[in-house]
Structure formats: structure tokens, C-alpha cells
Amino acid sequence: MKTYTVIGICLILIGIFAFTYQGFTFTTREKIADVGPIHMTAESTRTVPLQPIVGALCLAGGIVLLVTDKMNR
């Protein structure tokens, strides 16, 4: 596969992911205290929102890359 084809497919998949989930959430653990045998940690959940325009741009960019790659063959 050519590089443009692989990048185009990846962009299309990212665009579909952005439209479907509209963001992703992850959890981080932070060490609060570490005194002898006592260990205290805190978990915090963070959400990264993905705007629909990001999905549209990735989807359009992937389609453009696939079309231009087919035309150059």
C-alpha cells in the first residue's frame, strides 16, 4: 500500500471515531502521600472532547487523500 492510502484510511477511521464517540475519557492516578507503609493515591477522571468539526475535517482529508492517490496511478 502507498503512504497516501494508509494515511487516508487512518484519517477516515479517526473521523468516524470522532463522530461516534465525540471525545474520550481517561483516568490518572496521583500520589498524594507516601509516609512509611502508608500510601495514598487519588484517581481523577479527565475527558477530552472532540468537536464534530474535527471529525468532518479528518473524514474529508482522508477521502481527498484516497481520491488523489487513485488519480495519480
pLDDT of residue 73: 73
pLDDT (mean) for 22-38: 88
Has residue 46 got a pLDDT over 80? yes
The residue whose grid cell reads 507503609 is 37
Has residue 33 got a pLDDT over 80? yes
Has residue 1 got a pLDDT over 70? no
Pairing of strands 23-35, 38-49: antiparallel
Has residue 44 got a pLDDT over 80? yes
DSSP 24-72: EEEEEEEEEEEETTEEEEEEEEEEEE--HHHHHHHHHHHHHHHHHHHHT
Number of folded domains that form the chain: 1
As a whole number, the mean pLDDT across the chain is 89
**Domain assignment of residue 34, given as a range:** 3-71
Q: Decide: 15 and 56 in contact? Cβ < 8 Å.
A: yes
Q: Decide: 70 and 3 in contact? Cβ < 8 Å.
A: no
Higher pLDDT, 56 or 71: 56
